[in-house]
Amino acid sequence: VINAEKSEFNEDQAACCQISIRRKEPGLEEDEEWLILCSTQFLTGYYWALFDGHGGPDAAIIASNYLHYCIKQKLEEVVGGITEARPPMHLSGRCICDSDPQFVEEKHIHAEDLVVGALENAFQECDEVIGQEMEATRQTGGCTALAALYFQGKLYVANAGDSRAILVLEDSVVPMSCEFTPETERQRIQHLAFLFPKLLDGEFTRFEFPRRLKGDDVGQKVLYRDYFMEGWGYKTVDKADLKYPLVHGQGKQARLLGTLAVSRGLGDHQLKVIDTNIEVKPFLSCIPKVNIFDFALHDIKEDDVLIMATDGLWDVLCNKEVAHMVRSFLAENRMDPHRFSELAKCLVCRARGKKRGHQWMLDDSHEASYDDISVFVIPLHNRAEE
């Protein structure tokens, strides 16, 4: 984790641990706690997560200390369903209606859907906890969250924000997340402003234009998009269109309400647009998109890895460049027992670049990342199995 002299604190945080999910014996009630403890079996999960904070590191720190606990809790709540080949309609396993198993089958509900649901609920729970904690301690800020969970032979990657996870396999690269930014979620955000115009308090326009409009544009027909449009149209500009746009800017400069560069994540409960009473939180989502990789369907090789990194890396390196570095580094260092952590350092250093005068530059003399950079390199291969 490296901070390229941008801010006082490193706003990236990371977590990594084993998660033990307690499997209750069916039929035991909560008040028979001592019996449960005697006969407990555990399911084991492995967890890695990156949190990229903004407005300070506080939300990222709480999330890095708490999200795995939420995930453990939500998995324990449904563990009775996960261990079945097909989750039962009733968690108790009781069958109230003879055709219940058939209903579950018709809906194509599998154990992995319970894990996805648990991850979705865990992110929401964690967001609530962060809100309470930060209100109580008068802290502010928010963070993105990218979490990977290896559980029961499958890798689940849950993402809310603009970090990214990819699998670098022998002859393919598998994206395991997509980024949520004001640009990628423009339609969702504009739609909310259409449904609840009061959220903009008369200070912003929900329309998108190629640039901020000015007085000379009034009365002209200019390119625009509304919430329901993937295409573009022309709109006759009136004075209200001169307001600052709800979603504005391009690429890394894109902002929600002129304030935030991400549209999903945890925290930001108190965040208001500067000098206004406009709240940003209603436009944010804390819900992750979960992608699944099933190890049983792939022949995992010794150099196959999961790369997780904050936008500090991906701003300056594309998937292809990272995959190339991963493959050549691991091939050249096959004997080094620390090669995976060395590779992570190497990726971070490449994105940080080298200092020349006041600027950090990449090898090819492009500007280096000016953001915090965090990278996990996680080997997928299980030597023990061979």
Which stretches of the chain bind a second copy, using CB under 8 A? 74, 77-78, 81, 87, 89-92, 94, 96-97, 99-100, 103-104, 106-107, 109, 112-121, 124, 195, 210-211, 214, 216-217, 220-223, 225, 228-234, 250, 285, 287, 289-290
Cα–Cα distance measured from residue 194 to residue 185, given in angstroms and rounded to the nearest whole number? 14
Q: Which is nearer to a second copy, 75 or 322 (CB)?
A: 75
Q: Which is nearer to a second copy, 125 or 371 (CB)?
A: 125
Contacts of 81 (CB under 8 A, 6+ apart): 87, 88, 91, 111, 114
Query: CB of residue 89 vs a second copy: minimum separation in angstroms?
Result: 6
Cα–Cα distance measured from residue 378 to residue 149, given in angstroms and rounded to the nearest whole number? 12
Query: CB of residue 230 vs a second copy: minimum separation in angstroms?
Result: 6
What is the DSSP secondary structure assignment for residue 24, as one 8-state letter? P
β-bridge mates for residue 266, sequence order: 143
Query: CB of residue 284 vs a second copy: minimum separation in angstroms?
Result: 13
Q: Which is nearer to a second copy, 96 or 296 (CB)?
A: 96
What is the DSSP secondary structure assignment for residue 217, as one 8-state letter? G
Query: CB of residue 355 vs a second copy: minimum separation in angstroms?
Result: 30
Please report where in the chains the tokens 């396993």 appear, as a residue.
Answer: 93
Query: CB of residue 114 vs a second copy: minimum separation in angstroms?
Result: 6
Query: CB of residue 227 vs a second copy: minimum separation in angstroms?
Result: 9
Q: Which is nearer to a second copy, 289 or 327 (CB)?
A: 289
Q: Which is nearer to a second copy, 237 or 348 (CB)?
A: 237
Parallel/antiparallel/unpaired status of strands 12-23 and 164-169: unpaired
Q: Which is nearer to a second copy, 166 or 290 (CB)?
A: 290
- Distance set, CA 181 to CA 55, 250, 252 (Å): 17, 11, 9
Residue closest to 159 by CA, chosen among 142, 174, 145: 145
Cα–Cα distance measured from residue 344 to residue 237, given in angstroms and rounded to the nearest whole number? 50
Cα–Cα distance measured from residue 361 to residue 277, given in angstroms and rounded to the nearest whole number? 40
